[in-house]
Amino acid sequence: MDRFNAMRIFTRIVELGSFSKAAEDLQIPAATATYTIKQLEARLGVRLLQRTTRHVSTTLDGQAYYERCVRILADVEETEAGFGNSGVAPRGKLRVDLQGTLARHYVLPRLKEFFVRYPRIELEIGMGDRLVDLVRDGVDCVLRVGELRDSSMVGRRVASLQQVTCASAAYFEQHGVPLTLEDLHAQGHRAVNFFSSATGKMFPFDFIVDGEERSIHLPGSVSVGSAEAYAACCANDLGLVQMPRYHVEQELRSGAFREVLAEWRPRPMPVSVLYPHQRQLSPRVRVFVDWLSDVMSVAS
């Protein structure tokens, strides 16, 4: 039995929580995955996995073995990347998940550059605003907007996005233009409200007043959980929004949208790349994160 191959099969089963999903991911027969783990457990003399009809989880021995396997496989990949063919670029499949609007605006237009530099890497790209379980979903890294909260992940900040408070020109014709924060309530302004897809919590409008953050909640007829819907509702004159400037740059330049309360703009919104601790030694992850950092540097 190829020990490294057995380690790869074992780690994917742990990460995906399923023999069948791991087999599909690795493009091997499910019976091969089952037989490999039986042979592995027999050779080690311990039970590594607990199986139920719906899920697979590690035993204590299995978890310890998984953590060592991840480190060993990363070391092997890094070592192999430095030898053979005079140190060719990293190769293999890399699964990434990108925040949709950032991907369309900054990353996808320059993707050809990445493949020119690293032609032997195959990218599998997911896009959206939903939270991704990197380990369970088998994702190597994600590009996300906002403050980092998951201490189990390695985070690298790659940009800070200026935020603006704006609405459509037609909206201001109907409701007036707020010149102070007090005008927001005094003039009866309304918002397109944005909620967290993870918690359902509604985000307030934030402003910096004399160095301190001030949050204001505004009523509205519609609440959304995606950046695309947020901008679309603003374009349809449904209320004020507060979002990264890059997303509405064209509308602001054309006059379709108008920024207000610029004197009290909220703090810039951080953009970070997140990846599991066990992925930080992977050459594929490392070069992709470095490339993303370069791509996103123009956003700050």
- Find the CATH number of the domain harbouring 12: 1.10.10.10
* Residue where a domain stops, chosen among 81, 111, 131: 81
pLDDT score at 130? 60
Contacts of 284 (CB under 8 A, 6+ apart): 77, 90, 91, 92, 94, 121, 140
Percent helix, strand, coil in the chain (nearest 5)? 45, 25, 30
- Same structural domain, 178 and 222: yes
Instruction: Please check whether residue 87 lies inside any domain of the structure.
Output: no
- pTM for the model stands at 0.69
Contacts of 85 (CB under 8 A, 6+ apart): none
- Same structural domain, 74 and 19: yes
- Same structural domain, 292 and 198: no
Nearest to 182 by CA among 261, 265, 266: 261
Q: Can you give the CATH number for the domain in which 259 is found?
A: 3.40.190.10
d(CA 101, CA 129): 9
- Same structural domain, 184 and 254: yes
In the chain, how many domains are there?
3
Element housing 19 (H / E): helix 19-26
Instruction: Please check whether residue 86 lies inside any domain of the structure.
Output: no
pLDDT score at 72? 84
Q: Which residues of the chain have pLDDT under 50?
A: 84-86
Instruction: Please check whether residue 36 lies inside any domain of the structure.
Output: yes
pLDDT score at 86? 45
- Same structural domain, 141 and 276: yes
Contacts of 116 (CB under 8 A, 6+ apart): none
- Same structural domain, 170 and 228: yes
pLDDT score at 197? 74
Instruction: Please check whether residue 53 lies inside any domain of the structure.
Output: yes
- Same structural domain, 70 and 101: no
Contacts of 55 (CB under 8 A, 6+ apart): 17, 18
pLDDT score at 114? 94
Contact between residue 85 and residue 102 where contact means Cβ atoms under 8 Å apart: no
- Same structural domain, 143 and 10: no
d(CA 128, CA 99): 5
pLDDT score at 73? 81
* Residue where a domain stops, chosen among 59, 81, 103: 81
- Same structural domain, 184 and 131: no
* Domain extent at residue 121: 92-159+270-299
Dihedral, CA of residue 6, residue 10, residue 12 and residue 14, to nearest 10:
180
- Same structural domain, 180 and 256: yes
d(CA 133, CA 112): 28
d(CA 230, CA 223): 8
- Same structural domain, 51 and 119: no
- Same structural domain, 33 and 10: yes
